[in-house]
């Protein structure tokens, strides 16, 4: 049942207004002074308040101001009850947030109509408040789901990249292993040779070098093929060191790519972050495209969520590799070109990812950033890569993402990120240097 608070220091008028309230099917609460009115309002949360302006100790205007200062009570419609000639109080009250007013003496029918009007306002307010709460809950749920989608997409990407990374690591590990086994075999021959030299040395010290011992040493030298070892051992060591560095570089790239962060923006070297992503995704593009990088040396640290920006770059690079591969299906025999550039444009850092793929058809260009929109075959894509990229760039970083495309020529995605973060960011993250992916 709706509840109306009647506030008047004159008992007869208070009783009369309460009777009108109850005749309309509402519950009436009565307060004889302002302090009691505030207490009842806080305890009962009425739907409408009928408030006398002229009261001792605490005037109706003071009660009105206190009601409107209280976040829990300010939405309650207040109808001022005034005597004739109190126009100044009416104007002041309406300016302070009163919903309506009625003058004494009043007609019951008019008072009832004013109460009904105020109740409609309160009902609409409550409905809007409920809708706003639902919208806030839906927005929070959407943010949660979006976060889970980003995380799921990243896990999916890492899982997809795992096989490629394993292949990238396996190749250098294989020739490190081959060279190590070669050096192991060489060491056995060298060990025999050193044994012959040791016996020759002891015999020389005793002055008893026999022809047989000299022949043994010569045979050991011949068996070890010293000239061959002198030429090949340094190569084997160099290749092994190169392989180890290659593996270390991939590990550093993975570490940079999967930087967990802490949910707050950090100032990072964007060029290094991009290079890490290109390195871990090398198996995605190396068979279909030549990589060209053009990183601006004067690009300052950029406030980012590192893991999220890495995800955006990965999505765009993989998409570029796939569209270049699609162009190859049309009869092209040469590799395409994947170009990644960075530059500074005023207070913006710009990333351009260009491919020589098929381009985006005109009839789907308006939909490429839509959730779940994809032109790929079933099982080949979920249609969330670009929508997640847009959400990360625009909503999380206050940046922009757009594309330029031409049928049969290719597409360029352009990301712009603000260099200065109005909300502030944590101290710079020092990423380990990663060698250029080739």
Q: Which tens digit of pLDDT belongs to each residue from 180-224?
A: 888 888 888 788 878 887 887 888 888 777 878 788 878 877 777
Write out pLDDT tens, residues 136-192: 888 888 878 767 776 666 666 666 666 667 767 777 788 788 888 888 888 887 888
Q: What is the pLDDT of residue 259?
A: 58
Asked whether the predicted pLDDT for residue 382 surpasses 50, the reply is no
Q: How far is CA 373 from CA 25, 364, 413, in A?
A: 55, 9, 17
Provide the β-strand partners of residue 290.
337
Distance of alpha carbon 399 from the chain centroid: 12
Q: Looking at residue 82, what is its pLDDT?
A: 86
Give 408-435 pLDDT, tens digit per residue: 899 999 999 999 865 555 555 555 555 5
Indicate the pLDDT class of residue 380, thresholds 50, 70 and 90.
Answer: very low
CA distance 298 to 342: 10
Average pLDDT of the residues of the chain: 83
Is the pLDDT at 18 greater than 70? The verdict is yes
Asked whether the predicted pLDDT for residue 292 surpasses 90, the reply is yes
Tell me which DSSP letter residue 394 carries. I
Token pair of 170 as six digits:
């396996």
pLDDT in tens, 232-258: 888 888 888 888 887 777 777 666 666
């Amino acid at each position: 049942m709706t509840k109306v608070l009647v506030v008047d220091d004159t008992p007869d008028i208070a009783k009369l207004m309460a009777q009108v309230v109850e005749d309309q099917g509402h519950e009436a609460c009565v307060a004889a002074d302002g302090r009691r009115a505030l207490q009842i309002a806080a305890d009962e949360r009425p739907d409408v308040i009928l408030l006398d302006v002229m009261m001792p100790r605490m005037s109706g205007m003071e009660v009105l101001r206190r009601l409107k200062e209280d976040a829990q009570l300010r939405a309650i419609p207040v109808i001022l009850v005034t005597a004739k000639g109190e126009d100044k109080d009416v104007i002041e009250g309406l300016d302070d947030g009163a919903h309506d007013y009625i003058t004494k003496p009043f007609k019951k029918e008019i008072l009832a109509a004013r109460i009904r009007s105020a109740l409609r306002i309160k009902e609409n307010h409550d409905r809007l408040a409920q809708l706003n709460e639902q919208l806030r809950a839906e927005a929070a749920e959407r943010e949660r789901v979006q976060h889970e989608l980003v995380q799921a997409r990243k896990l999916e990407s890492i899982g997809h990249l795992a096989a490629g990374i394993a292949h990238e690591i396996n190749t250098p590990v294989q020739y490190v292993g081959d060279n190590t086994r070669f050096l192991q075999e060489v060491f056995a021959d060298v060990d025999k040779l050193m044994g012959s030299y040791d016996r020759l040395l002891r015999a020389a010290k005793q002055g008893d070098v026999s022809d047989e011992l000299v022949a043994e040493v010569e045979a050991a030298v011949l068996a070890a093929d010293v000239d061959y070892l002198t030429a090949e051992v340094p190569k084997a060591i160099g290749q092994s060191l190169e392989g180890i560095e290659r593996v270390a570089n991939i590990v550093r790239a993975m570490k940079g790519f999967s930087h967990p962060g802490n949910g707050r923006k950090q100032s990072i070297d964007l060029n290094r972050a991009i290079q890490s992503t290109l390195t871990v995704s090398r198996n995605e593009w190396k068979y279909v495209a030549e990589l060209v990088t053009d990183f601006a040396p004067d690009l300052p640290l950029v406030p980012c969520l590192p893991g999220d920006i890495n995800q955006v770059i990965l999505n765009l690079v993989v998409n570029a590799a796939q569209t270049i591969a699609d162009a190859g299906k049309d009869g092209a025999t040469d590799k395409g070109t994947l170009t990644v550039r960075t530059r500074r444009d005023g207070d913006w850092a710009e990333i351009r990812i260009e491919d020589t793929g098929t381009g985006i058809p005109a009839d789907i260009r308006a939909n490429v950033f839509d959730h779940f929109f994809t032109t790929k075959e079933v099982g080949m894509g979920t249609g969330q890569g670009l929508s997640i990229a847009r959400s990360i760039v625009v909503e999380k970083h206050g940046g922009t993402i757009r594309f330029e495309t031409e049928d049969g020529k290719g597409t360029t995605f352009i990301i712009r990120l603000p260099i200065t973060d109005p909300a502030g960011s944590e101290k710079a993250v020092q990423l380990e240097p990663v060698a250029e992916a080739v």
